[in-house]
Structure 1
Amino acid sequence: MKKSLTLVLASALLLGSAQAQNVTLTVAAFPSLDSAIKAILPAWNKLHPNVTIKLQAQEYADHHNAMTTALATGQGLPDVMAIEIGFVSKFAEGQGLENLDNAPYNAGQYKKLFTPFTIGQATSSDKRFIAMPTDIGPGTFFYRKDVLDKAGVNPLTLQTSWESFIEGGKKIKAKTGAYLINTAASINNVIIRTNLKPGEGIYFDSKNNLLVGPDNARFVRAFTLSKQVRDAGLDAKIGEWSNEWYDAFKKGTVATQFSGAWLQGALQNWMAPDTKGLWRVQNLPEKGFASWGGSFYAIPSKAVNKQWAWEFIKFMTLEQSSQITAFKDNGAFPALLAAQKDKAFSEAVPFLGGQQARVLWRDAAAKTQPIDVNKYDSVAEQIVQTELTNVLEQGKDIKQALSDARAQIARRAR
């Protein structure tokens, strides 16, 4: 009891000290999360006038590379580190981030407030909770209505099955000259992430068994359909986050795109703002539901201002007003369940031709199942993508490619 009282008094003194002096809190982020942070700054400054947010924003890859180096060396660490879902499992398996389940954070009490699948995403294999979710990416099928209208293709037929998606793509290409998709690899990325069974991750199951291989129907089908798209000349062979990708959005030379709901904000704000009213969305083919992106906030173990870092993270993730501000600013879909009930969700989205897309995204998020993460997910993803490229560009046999992928992953994860 005496020890507990001493800790309480010490915490109170620290808080009083922090409030009495000016503090600079360093937050490292990437687009479009940096835009969301800027949008909430007026509210933060009003609440905490003595705590100045110093935002360090870099492009997605540069940010995560910098954070990887900072965690490895202990140098150049921010107080708050934004992490995109693609890097969460990798960062979680290191020991450089605070376990938010522990005191003084005690984040366990907040977990039930978030979309369920985000909690598993931020939990390491040894059950450390290393980051708070701020936004999620319900998997979404974007399509150019003007292109499909010109081709005489009903968007619902593209959603019915992957086979009908490909057949519709052939008609679109013949009638309009537009490609069906930016890259055939996108088909693989959807199929391997959707309709997973409980206890099944993308590449490993909950018991660390490797799932990739020539006998796994999910991967065989994903590779097979991707190859059919490439062989039919339906993909533009354009990588994401490239200038060619942005141009395709602007010019309508690619008819569809699979992504997270957040893409709407990116298209509207900076990728292709002049295409307002031309886009629509629907759920993924074959009633698939998947998490497609998402952002988290973590505290490095060697951060200088951990207490204020936690206050900032709670402000960004637990405050409904902050979540809605970010949502309206750039389409960052709230991870906080209470924010998803805001009246903004029933509003029409002008960029999507007045479609009530947010209701669709909310329903998709509710149907998305948690996926177990594994510390070797990033390794497996890189190897699978390389072997898929060998299939698409060099004509490698699919079963052989998946067999080789399995062997390489097993060797790296041994």
Structure 2
Amino acid sequence: MKKWLLLVVLSLVMLTVAACSGGDGEESEGNTNSNSNANDNNGASDSGETVELSFQAYGSTGYQELIDEYQDAHPNVKITLSEGEMNDVLSNLFTSISAGSGAPDIALIEVSQIEKFKQAQDQFYNLNDYGAGDLSGNYLDWKWQQAQSVDGSFQLGFPTDIGPTTMFYRTDVMEAAGLPTDRAALAEEISTWDDFYEAAKTIKAETDKPITDAPQMVFNALRDQQPVQYFNEDDELVAEENVKEAYDYTTKMIQEGLIGQNALWTPEWGTAMAEGSYAAMPGAPGWMVNNVRSNAPDASGLWDVTQIPEGAGNWGGSFLTIPAESEHPQEAYDFISWLTAPEQQLRSFTIAGLFPSTPDVYENEEFLAATDEYFNGAPTAKIFAEAAKSVVPVYLGINYSIVDTEINTALTNVAVEGADPQEEWDAAIERIESQLERQ
């Protein structure tokens, strides 16, 4: 009997030790899906251990200033920002998550490609596992939902900016053409796309300059005003019905010498911006202001902002995500939830013109009082806020970038090579349909 009691006591002791050891057994070894480990930060924040986060972005976000501020407040977190051209960055990101190697801790994803990445949501952390749902009320409903699964259970990313469109213009070129330089007067003078066409002819006749140098700016401006663009919600290609008219309008102006031939983001595009070799950038969103400042640092006061003809659309906007490869998801989450909070979105607007997706900011007195001396002292916040009121959410579809790329190729061929617009359109649609069949 004594031996039996001793065995029972020893067994109980062993069970107690095992229970206190905390999971170095089968459950820990089998938990290889990082999404199921959403709240595990490895104790790095508590221990004071330095955590290094890689942050991959594109364009001119102006985020470095905010990163520096965050690091000052969190000395155990080091964030390295890398920026590149959008298509290259997102292509590399998709390749990395597909291979399971090479993805950053934090990745910025543009709205036109968010549907594609949602199809690979198992390669990202679900931000809802960290409590992101409790913060959803800070953001525009439609913007939040763009990065959400259909049933709402998976949140891929935190919204950053949106891109309500306006018209940037050169006051010196408008003045030389005899057109108004005052914002309100110019908006009244060019209130329709017919007016825009007539203004383009005047500018060409008086200054020998095109109204804009990039065909894509005009096409995008018209496209983004459409409630349906390349695909309907059944993912059926409907470009012919919805954007062909925008394409025809743009190519007509190209053929008449009223629009230049520079492609967006090229050195030539930047040089033309600096030299004032054209009059306006229709369809320019808030995030474009930093591109203008960067490309034309000596043109301060010569650029201004007004409303676009016939109402704003939305061009762009992004989301901050955490790829599943990250070994520090908690620290990454803490940072991106801070970076996209209303206070920091207000700062991002001031720093880089990223228009907030947090509507509470729109009533903020500091926000509404914001002016931009580079843009001739324009009340940019009020102008972009007014534009945002007419933005209608648009379903983009998983294959949006395929269509957009091919149509822009057609526009470039018309502008640079003098190709026939209809032949280029037909060829673009043929290429699009061929690619869609392979998806």
Provide TM-score, normalisation by structure 2.
0.81
Matched, 1:95 2:121: yes
Q: Secondary structure at the match of 2:190?
A: helix
Aligned pairs (5 A) from 1:223-242: 223-242=247-266
Q: Is residue 39–residue 326 contact of structure 1 (8 Å, CA) maintained in 2?
A: no
Q: Which of 406, 409, 422 is the aligned partner of 1:397?
A: 422
Aligned pairs (5 A) from 1:58-137: 58-95=84-121, 97-98=123-124, 100=126, 102-103=128-129, 105-123=130-148, 128-137=154-163
User: Residues 410 and 86 of structure 1: is their aligned pair in 2 closer, same or farther, counting only changes over 3 Å?
Assistant: closer
User: Residues 101 and 315 of structure 1: is their aligned pair in 2 closer, same or farther, counting only changes over 3 Å?
Assistant: closer
- The code of the aligned residue for 2:111 comes to I
User: Residues 309 and 14 of structure 1: is their aligned pair in 2 closer, same or farther, counting only changes over 3 Å?
Assistant: closer
Deviations 1:141-198 (A, max 9, x none): 11111111110124335632212211111110111122111133332222222141xx
Deviations 1:31-71 (A, max 9, x none): 322x32x2123431243221221223334344223322211
Q: Which of 192, 198, 207 is the aligned partner of 1:167?
A: 198
Q: Secondary structure at the match of 2:239?
A: coil
User: Residues 305 and 286 of structure 1: is their aligned pair in 2 closer, same or farther, counting only changes over 3 Å?
Assistant: same
Q: Is residue 38–residue 330 contact of structure 2 (8 Å, CA) maintained in 1?
A: no
Q: Separation in 2 of the partners of 1:359 and 1:114?
A: 19
User: Residues 174 and 194 of structure 1: is their aligned pair in 2 closer, same or farther, counting only changes over 3 Å?
Assistant: same
Deviation, structure 1 residue 262: 1.7
Matched, 1:372 2:395: yes
Q: Separation in 2 of the partners of 1:133 and 1:11?
A: 19
Deviations 1:224-273 (A, max 9, x none): 201211111011200111111111111110111132112223322x2112
Q: Secondary structure at the match of 1:274?
A: coil
Q: Secondary structure at the match of 1:29?
A: strand
Q: Which of 341, 357, 361 is the aligned partner of 1:339?
A: 361
Q: Separation in 1 of the partners of 2:191 and 2:40?
A: 61
User: Residues 174 and 298 of structure 1: is their aligned pair in 2 closer, same or farther, counting only changes over 3 Å?
Assistant: same
- The code of the aligned residue for 1:115 comes to L
Deviation, structure 1 residue 368: 0.9
**RCO higher in structure (CA 8 A, sep ≥6):** 1
Deviations 1:358-386 (A, max 9, x none): 11101222321111231111122223333
**Residue aligning to 2:58:** 30
User: Residues 153 and 330 of structure 1: is their aligned pair in 2 closer, same or farther, counting only changes over 3 Å?
Assistant: same
Deviation, structure 1 residue 397: 2.4
Deviations 1:299-351 (A, max 9, x none): 11222111111111101012x33223222222222222233333133232211
Q: Is residue 276–residue 353 contact of structure 1 (8 Å, CA) maintained in 2?
A: yes
Q: Separation in 2 of the partners of 1:181 and 1:42?
A: 37
Deviation, structure 1 residue 80: 0.8
Provide TM-score, normalisation by structure 1.
0.86
Identity of aligned residues (%): 27
Aligned pairs (5 A) from 1:41-52: 41-52=67-78
User: Residues 387 and 247 of structure 1: is their aligned pair in 2 closer, same or farther, counting only changes over 3 Å?
Assistant: closer
Q: Secondary structure at the match of 1:295?
A: strand
**Residue aligning to 1:3:** none
Q: Separation in 2 of the partners of 1:304 and 1:123?
A: 23
Higher CA-based Rg: 2
**Residue aligning to 1:305:** 328
**Residue aligning to 2:66:** 40
Q: Is residue 189–residue 195 contact of structure 2 (8 Å, CA) maintained in 1?
A: yes
Q: Separation in 2 of the partners of 1:55 and 1:101?
A: 21
Q: Is residue 19–residue 50 contact of structure 1 (8 Å, CA) maintained in 2?
A: no
Q: Which of 207, 210, 230 is the aligned partner of 2:237?
A: 210
Q: Secondary structure at the match of 2:45?
A: helix
Q: Is residue 210–residue 410 contact of structure 1 (8 Å, CA) maintained in 2?
A: no
Q: Which runs of 5+ in 2 are unaligned?
A: 1-22, 24-36, 181-185
Q: Separation in 2 of the partners of 1:195 and 1:384?
A: 16
Q: Which of 262, 282, 288 is the aligned partner of 2:306?
A: 282
| Worse overlay, 335-344 or 252-261 | 335-344
Q: Is residue 39–residue 330 contact of structure 2 (8 Å, CA) maintained in 1?
A: no
Q: Is residue 119–residue 133 contact of structure 1 (8 Å, CA) maintained in 2?
A: yes
RMSD between aligned residues: 2.8
User: Residues 148 and 304 of structure 1: is their aligned pair in 2 closer, same or farther, counting only changes over 3 Å?
Assistant: same
Q: Secondary structure at the match of 1:66?
A: helix
Q: Secondary structure at the match of 1:275?
A: coil
User: Residues 45 and 101 of structure 1: is their aligned pair in 2 closer, same or farther, counting only changes over 3 Å?
Assistant: closer
Deviation, structure 1 residue 286: 1.4
Q: Separation in 2 of the partners of 1:388 and 1:126?
A: 39
User: Residues 366 and 19 of structure 1: is their aligned pair in 2 closer, same or farther, counting only changes over 3 Å?
Assistant: farther
Deviation, structure 1 residue 403: 5.9
